[in-house]
Amino acid sequence: YHHPEVEKLALANGLKFSLPPSKFNFGSYLANFEILFQNLSKSGFYDNDEDEVYLKETLSEIAYSSYFNFNMPRKSLLNIPRDQYLALKNLSKNKDNIITCPDKGSGIVIMNREDYIRKMEEIVSDTTKFKVCLEQDLPNFSQD
Cα-atom radius of gyration of the chain, to the nearest Å?
A: 24
DSSP, residue by residue, 53-106: HHHHHHHHHHHHHHHHHHTS--S---SS-HHHHHHHHHHHH-TTEEEE--SSSS
Which pLDDT tens digit goes with each residue over 24-82?
A: 788 888 999 999 999 998 888 888 889 999 999 999 999 989 888 877 665 556 678 88
pLDDT score at 8 = 87
pTM: 0.50
Is the alpha carbon torsion for 92, 95, 96, 100 positive or negative?
Answer: positive
Distances (CA, A) of 111 to 3, 27, 108: 17, 37, 10
